[in-house]
Amino acid sequence: MKRRSLMLALVLAAPLLMGAGGQAPPPEVAVRIVGPAISGTLVLDPHQDTTVTPMARRAALVLRKGTLSASAVFDAAGTYQCGCDLALTALRFQNQPLTQFLSRDKVTQLLAELGVSVPTSRVSGIPGVPIISDVSNDACTGDRNPDGTFIQIDPGDTGQCQVPGATLGPNSDPIAGVLSVDVVVQFEVIKE
Ranking 19-33, 55-69, 73-87 by mean pLDDT, the lowest is 19-33
* Partners of residue 72 on adjacent β-strands: 61
Instruction: Give residue 22's identity as a one-letter amino acid code.
Output: G
pLDDT of residue 173: 55
* Range picked from 34-38, 43-47, 158-162 for highest mean pLDDT: 34-38
pLDDT of residue 50: 64
Average pLDDT over residues 57-78: 89
- The more confident residue out of 104 and 154 is 104
Note whether 80 and 55 are within 8 A (CB). Answer: no
**pLDDT tens digits for range 94-135:** 999 998 888 888 998 999 999 987 776 666 667 788 999 999
Q: What is the DSSP letter of 122?
A: T
- The more confident residue out of 146 and 187 is 187
- Residue 144 in this model has a pLDDT that exceeds 50: yes
- The more confident residue out of 179 and 3 is 179
Break the chain into its structural domains and give their ranges.
33-190
Distance CA 192, CA 182 (A): 31
Note whether 126 and 189 are within 8 A (CB). Answer: yes
- Residue 162 in this model has a pLDDT that exceeds 70: no
